[in-house]
Amino acid sequence: MAGTASAAEPAIAWEPLPGPQTALITCPVFEVFYGGARGGGKTDGMLGEWLSHADLHGANAIGLMIRRERTQLIETIERSKSIYPLIGAQYHEQDKLWRFPNGARLRFAYLERDADADAYQGHSYTRIYIEEIGNFPSPNPIMKLMATLRSGAGVPVGFRATGNPGGPGHHWVKARYIDPAPKGWTMLASEFRNPWTGETVRRDRIYIPSRLQDNRYLGADYVANLQMSGSQELVRAWLEGDWSVVAGSFFPEFSDARHVVQPVALPDHWARFRACDWGSAKPFSVGWYAVSDGCLPQFARGCLVKYREWYGMQPGQPNVGLKLTAEEVGAGVAQRERGEVIEYGVIDPSTFREDGGPSIAERMYLGSGRAASWRPADNTRVAQKGAMGGWDQLRARLKGDEEGRPMIVFFATCTDTIRTLPALQHDPARAEDVDTSSEDHAPDETRYACMSRPYMRNAPKPKPEGPSAMTFDQFLKLTSDEKPRSRYRR
Ligand SMILES: Nc1ncnc2c1ncn2[C@@H]1O[C@H](COP(=O)(O)OP(=O)(O)O)[C@@H](O)[C@H]1O
Ligand SMILES: [Mg+2]
C-alpha cells in the first residue's frame, strides 16, 4: 500500500500499480501476455514481476529478459538500475546480469536475428521475459526460448511478454494472444501429453490488457507526445490497446479543404528549397517549397508551400517511371527553377552511392550544368530515440499550429502529391510506417523536405512570474517532502 515511509515500516523500492499491473505480478498462469497500451506500465511490470519471483524462489530463480534491439534493451536496463539496487542487487555490466542478495539471477539480452535464439539451447530458466514481443516478425525464436523454461528445483516456471499493437509481429501476436478472447482476462488452456510417460502438462496462456489510464505516473503530456507520432487511429490503438486498428489511410489528417490551395504569386524574398526522391523504372518526384514568413494572410508563418512538383511518371500509368537518365532529370530541374534562388536541395541518400562511377546525385548536378546541387536528405522514417521521424514531421505539419492552421500546403497544380499522399496505407507489419508497396515517391520526397526543416508546435507560453510563482524555498520544501514514488521491500 502506498503511503509515507515510517520507522516501523521499511521504505519500499517498488510496488505495482493497482489493476492490471498487480494482476501481472500475482498471476500464476504459465504464459502471460501483458499488453496493449503504450505507457501502460509494461516495462515496470516485467521488472516488478521478477522482483516477486526472485523473492519467492531465491537462488533457484533464474531469469532472462529479452528485447529485439540493443538500444531498446538499454532503456530497460536503465530502468532496472533505478529499482534493483534499492534491494541490494548488484549489476554486472559485462554479463548484463543482476545478482540479488538471495542468489536470484536475472540476465538481459537482445535477439537481433532470429538465429541468435539458438545460443540459448540447453539453458534452463525459470522466467523468460520478452519485452515488446511485437518487434519480433516471427514467433520462431520466441518458441525456442520457451523451450528453455525448466527447473530442476521444482520452481514453477513462466513466460511473460509485453507488446503493443502495430509492430512487425502484430499479426502473429494478435493471433496467439488477442483473437481467442479479444478483451483478455480469459484463460486459454492447452494440454500436452508426453507420449513416453503418458503424463499431461498444462501450458495455460492469458492476456492481461493494460491501458494508459491504469498508469498514474503518466499524464496528458505523454498522450500529447503520442499524438505527434502516429495517425489518430494508431494513437487510439496505442492508448486503448485496440488491436483491430491498423487498417486505413496513413494520413487521415490530409484534407483538400485545408491543404490544397490555388496557386498565387509568392514573394521573392521567401526562402525556397527543393527535395527529390529518385526513380527511373518507378517515378521520381521533385518538389519545390517556399517558406512563408507570415506576410500573406492565408499562410501561417513557417508554413511550407509546395508550389511546384515534377513527377516522373508515364502519362496515365500510375507508378510507372519515365526512365530518364540522371543527367536528364538534373537538366529538367535546372530548367524549371531558372530565375529562382533555391537555397538547397535534399535527395534520398542512396543517390550518393558510387558504384565505380559518379553517383546519381553527382550526375544530376552535372546534367544541370552545375546549377542545381544536392545534399543527402535525412531518411529517418519513424521516431527513433525520442526524435521525430519524417512521417511524424509531415503529420505534425499537416495537423498544423496551435490555431489549427496547416504548416504545409500544396498548390493545386501538385496533382501527383495530392493524388498519392492521402492514398498511402499503413504497413501491415509495422503500422507506424507506410506500406512501401504503395506509390510513395511524392510522399517520400515531401518527407525529405519536412525533415530538412523540422517543425515543433510552440510550447504553451510560460505563466508570467508574479505573486503566484513559487519561491525557491517553497520548491525545495516540496521536493524534500515528496512521498516515495513506489514501494517494494528494501
Ligand atoms: N509500479 C510503478 N512504479 C513506479 N513507476 C511506474 C510503475 N509503473 C509504471 N511506472 C512509470 O510509468 C512510466 C511508463 O511505464 P512503462 O513501464 O515504461 O510503460 P510501457 O512499458 O507500457 O510503455 C515509466 O516512467 C515508469 O517508470
Ligand atoms: Mg516499455
> Contact 471/269 with Cβ under 8 angstroms?
no
Mean pLDDT score, 351-378: 96
Q: Residue 81: which of 92, 67, 91 has the closest Cα? A: 91
Mutating to test ligand 1, I would choose from 17, 34, 43 the residue with most ligand atoms within 8 A of its C-beta, which is: 43
Mean pLDDT score, 433-462: 86
Å from CA of 325 to ligand 2 middle: 47
> Contact 345/382 with Cβ under 8 angstroms?
no
Asked whether residue 1 carries a pLDDT value surpassing 50, the answer given is no
Q: Please give the share of the chain, as a percent, with pLDDT higher than 90.
A: 60
If one compares 212 and 54, the residue with the highest pLDDT of the two is 54
Pair type for strands 97-99 and 105-110: antiparallel
Å from CA of 41 to ligand 1 middle: 4
Q: Provide DSSP, 176-221.
A: IIITTSTT----B--EEE-TTT--EEE--EEEEEE-GGG-TT--HH
**Atom number in ligand 1 closest to CA 16:** 1
Q: What is the mean pLDDT of the chain?
A: 86
Asked whether residue 481 carries a pLDDT value surpassing 80, the answer given is no
Residue 354 and residue 373: Cα distance in Å, rounded?
A: 16
163 lines ligand 1 (CB under 6 A): no
What cell does 283 get? 517515378
217 lines ligand 1 (CB under 6 A): yes
Asked whether residue 472 carries a pLDDT value surpassing 70, the answer given is no
What cell does 55 get? 523473492
Note the pLDDT tens digit of each residue in 94-148.
Answer: 999 999 999 999 999 999 998 999 999 999 999 999 999 988 988 999 999 999 9
Asked whether residue 462 carries a pLDDT value surpassing 70, the answer given is no
- Among 165-179, 275-289, 375-389, 390-404, the range scoring the smallest mean pLDDT is 165-179
Å from CA of 260 to ligand 2 middle: 39
42 lines ligand 1 (CB under 6 A): yes
Asked whether residue 45 carries a pLDDT value surpassing 80, the answer given is yes
Residue nearest to atom 1 of ligand 1 (CA): 16
Residue 473 and residue 91: Cα distance in Å, rounded?
A: 37
- pTM attached to this predicted model: 0.59
What amino acid is encoded at 222 in this protein? Y
Pair type for strands 345-347 and 426-427: unpaired
214 lines ligand 1 (CB under 6 A): no
Which ligand has the nearest atom to the CA of 51? 1
> Contact 469/478 with Cβ under 8 angstroms?
no
Residue nearest to atom 17 of ligand 1 (CA): 41
Mutating to test ligand 1, I would choose from 76, 217, 488 the residue with most ligand atoms within 8 A of its C-beta, which is: 217
Note the pLDDT tens digit of each residue in 187-197.
Answer: 887 777 777 77
**Does the CA dihedral 47-52-53-58 come out positive or negative?**
positive
pLDDT (0 to 100) of residue 193: 77
**Atom number in ligand 1 closest to CA 39:** 23
Which ligand has the nearest atom to the CA of 21? 1
40 lines ligand 1 (CB under 6 A): yes
Q: Residue 265: which of 286, 288, 296, 302 has the closest Cα? A: 296
81 lines ligand 1 (CB under 6 A): no
What H or E segment, with its residue span, contains residue 226?
Answer: helix 220-228
Note the pLDDT tens digit of each residue in 271-323.
Answer: 999 999 999 999 999 999 999 999 999 999 999 999 999 999 998 888 999 99
231 lines ligand 1 (CB under 6 A): no
Asked whether residue 343 carries a pLDDT value surpassing 60, the answer given is yes
What cell does 273 get? 528549397
Q: Please give the share of the chain, as a percent, with pLDDT higher than 70.
A: 90
Q: Provide DSSP, 266-327.
A: PPTTSEEEEEEE--SSSPPEEEEEEE--S-STTS-TT-EEEEEEEE-B-TT-TT-B----HH
Q: Chain centroid to CA 400: how far?
A: 21
477 lines ligand 1 (CB under 6 A): no
What H or E segment, with its residue span, contains residue 145?
Answer: helix 140-146
Q: Which residue has the cell 528453455?
A: 148
Å from CA of 411 to ligand 1 middle: 45
pLDDT (0 to 100) of residue 386: 73
> Contact 400/455 with Cβ under 8 angstroms?
no
- Domains in the chain and their CATH numbers? 20-219 (3.40.50.300), 256-451 (3.30.420.280)
Q: Residue 307: which of 295, 291, 284 has the closest Cα? A: 291
Note the pLDDT tens digit of each residue in 244-262.
Answer: 665 557 888 888 889 999 9
- Among 155-164, 168-177, 404-413, the range scoring the smallest mean pLDDT is 168-177
164 lines ligand 1 (CB under 6 A): no
pLDDT (0 to 100) of residue 218: 83
Mean pLDDT score, 377-382: 94
Q: Which residue has the cell 504569386?
A: 265
383 — pLDDT class (breaks 50, 70, 90): confident
43 lines ligand 1 (CB under 6 A): yes
pLDDT (0 to 100) of residue 244: 67
pLDDT (0 to 100) of residue 301: 95
Å from CA of 79 to ligand 2 middle: 10
Asked whether residue 353 carries a pLDDT value surpassing 80, the answer given is yes
pLDDT (0 to 100) of residue 377: 97
